[in-house]
Structure 1
Amino acid sequence: MQFNLTEEQEMIRKTVREFAQEVIAERASDIDETEKFPKDIWKQMGELGFLSLTLPKEYGGMAADHVSYSIMIEEISKCSASMGNAVAGNKIGQDFMANFASEVQKNKYVESVGKGETIMAFTATEPSGGSDVSAIQTKAVPKDDKFIINGNKIFVTFGELAEFYLAIARTNDQSGHKGMSAIIVERSRSGLKIGKKEKLMGVRGIGTSEIIYEDCEVPAENLIGNEGEGFKYAMKSFDNGRIGIASLALGIAQGALEQATKYAVQREAFGQTISNFQGIQFMLADAESKIEAARLLIYQACYLKDQGLPYTREAAIAKLYASDVAEEVTTNAVQIHGGFGYTKDYPVERMYRDSKITQIYEGTNQIQRMIIARNRLKNYQ
Structure 2
Amino acid sequence: MDFSHSEAQQALSGLARKLLTDKVTPEVLGPHGSGGFDAPLWTDLAKAGVLDAALPSSVGGGGFGLLEQCSVLTEIGRAVAPVPYLSSITMAAAALAEFGTPELTERWVVPVLRGSRVLAVALPDAGAPCGFTAESTVDGPQLTGAQSAVPFAAFAHGLLVEAAAGDGHEVFLIDREADGVDIAAQHTVDHADAGLLELTGAPAVSLGDVGEWLRLRGTVGLCAQQLGVVERALELTAAYARERKQFDQVIGGFQAVRQRLADAYLDVEAVRLTLWQAAWRLSEALPAAEEVATAKFWAAEAGHRVVHTAVHVHGGVGIDVDHPVHRYFAAAKRLEFTFGGATAHLRALGTQLADTPA
- Give the corresponding residue for 1:224: 206
- Give the corresponding residue for 1:337: 314
1:148 to 142, 147, 150: 142
1:351 to 298, 308, 328: 328
The one-letter code matched in structure 2 to 1:88 is L
Cα distance change, pair 77–27 in 1 and its aligned pair in 2 (3 A): farther
SS at 1:41's partner residue?
A: helix
Instruction: Output the TM-score relative to the length of structure 1.
Output: 0.86
Cα distance change, pair 262–171 in 1 and its aligned pair in 2 (3 A): same
Offset of residue 112 of structure 1: 1.8
Provide the C-alpha distance between the structure 2 equivalents of 1:155 and 1:277, rounded to a whole number of angstroms. Answer: 41
The one-letter code matched in structure 2 to 1:185 is I
Provide the C-alpha distance between the structure 1 equivalents of 2:36 and 2:332, rounded to a whole number of angstroms. Answer: 20
* 2:90 is equivalent to residue 97 of structure 1: no
Q: Give a deviation string over 1:229-252, Cα, whole Å, max 9, x none.
A: 3xxx11121111111111121111
- Give the corresponding residue for 2:57: 57
Q: Is the 8 A contact 2:257 2:313 kept in 1?
A: yes
Q: Which residues of structure 2 form unaligned runs of 5+?
A: none
- Name which of structure 1's ranges 151-160 and 25-34 shifts more when overlaid on structure 2: 25-34
2:188 to 200, 203, 215: 200
Provide the C-alpha distance between the structure 2 equivalents of 1:145 and 1:274, rounded to a whole number of angstroms. Answer: 67
- Give the corresponding residue for 1:286: 263
SS at 2:154's partner residue?
A: coil
Q: Is the 8 A contact 2:56 2:65 kept in 1?
A: no
Provide the C-alpha distance between the structure 2 equivalents of 1:362 and 1:161, rounded to a whole number of angstroms. Answer: 20
* 2:129 is equivalent to residue 131 of structure 1: no
Q: Percent identity over the alignment?
A: 22
Q: Alignment length, in residue pairs? A: 357
SS at 1:112's partner residue?
A: helix
SS at 2:338's partner residue?
A: coil
1:158 to 152, 161, 165: 152
How big is the alpha-carbon RMSD for the aligned residues of Structure 1 and Structure 2?
2.2
Provide the C-alpha distance between the structure 2 equivalents of 1:335 and 1:364, rounded to a whole number of angstroms. Answer: 22
The one-letter code matched in structure 1 to 2:328 is M
The one-letter code matched in structure 1 to 2:199 is Y
Offset of residue 56 of structure 1: 0.0
Provide the C-alpha distance between the structure 2 equivalents of 1:214 and 1:266, rounded to a whole number of angstroms. Answer: 57
2:230 to 253, 277, 283: 253
- Give the corresponding residue for 1:276: 253
Provide the C-alpha distance between the structure 1 equivalents of 2:234 and 2:105, rounded to a whole number of angstroms. Answer: 40
Cα distance change, pair 101–80 in 1 and its aligned pair in 2 (3 A): same
- Give the corresponding residue for 1:168: 162
Q: Is the 8 A contact 2:3 2:276 kept in 1?
A: no
Provide the C-alpha distance between the structure 1 equivalents of 2:7 and 2:337, rounded to a whole number of angstroms. Answer: 35
Offset of residue 331 of structure 1: 0.4
Q: Is the 8 A contact 2:230 2:303 kept in 1?
A: yes
* 2:178 is equivalent to residue 189 of structure 1: yes
SS at 1:52's partner residue?
A: coil
Offset of residue 147 of structure 1: 3.2
Offset of residue 65 of structure 1: 4.0
Cα distance change, pair 53–136 in 1 and its aligned pair in 2 (3 A): same
Provide the C-alpha distance between the structure 1 equivalents of 2:43 and 2:312, rounded to a whole number of angstroms. Answer: 37
The one-letter code matched in structure 1 to 2:179 is S
- Give the corresponding residue for 2:23: 23
Q: Is the 8 A contact 2:20 2:81 kept in 1?
A: no
Cα distance change, pair 41–82 in 1 and its aligned pair in 2 (3 A): closer
Cα distance change, pair 34–377 in 1 and its aligned pair in 2 (3 A): closer
Cα distance change, pair 370–247 in 1 and its aligned pair in 2 (3 A): same
The one-letter code matched in structure 2 to 1:131 is A
Offset of residue 80 of structure 1: 0.8
Q: Give a deviation string over 1:321-351, Cα, whole Å, max 9, x none.
A: 1221111111011111111111134211222
Matches within 5 A, 1:3-14: 3-14=3-14
Offset of residue 63 of structure 1: 2.4
Offset of residue 7 of structure 1: 2.7
Offset of residue 380 of structure 1: 4.1
Cα distance change, pair 248–266 in 1 and its aligned pair in 2 (3 A): same
- Give the corresponding residue for 1:215: 201
Q: Is the 8 A contact 2:92 2:119 kept in 1?
A: yes
SS at 1:72's partner residue?
A: helix
Cα distance change, pair 189–9 in 1 and its aligned pair in 2 (3 A): closer
Instruction: Output the TM-score relative to the length of structure 2.
Output: 0.91
Q: Is the 8 A contact 1:25 1:79 kept in 2?
A: no
Cα distance change, pair 13–333 in 1 and its aligned pair in 2 (3 A): same
Q: Which residues of structure 1 form unaligned runs of 5+?
A: none
SS at 1:194's partner residue?
A: strand
Q: Is the 8 A contact 1:81 1:354 kept in 2?
A: no
Provide the C-alpha distance between the structure 2 equivalents of 1:345 and 1:156, rounded to a whole number of angstroms. Answer: 25
Cα distance change, pair 31–278 in 1 and its aligned pair in 2 (3 A): same
- Name which of structure 1's ranges 105-114 and 317-326 shifts more when overlaid on structure 2: 105-114
- Give the corresponding residue for 2:343: 366
Cα distance change, pair 214–9 in 1 and its aligned pair in 2 (3 A): closer
1:314 to 287, 291, 295: 291
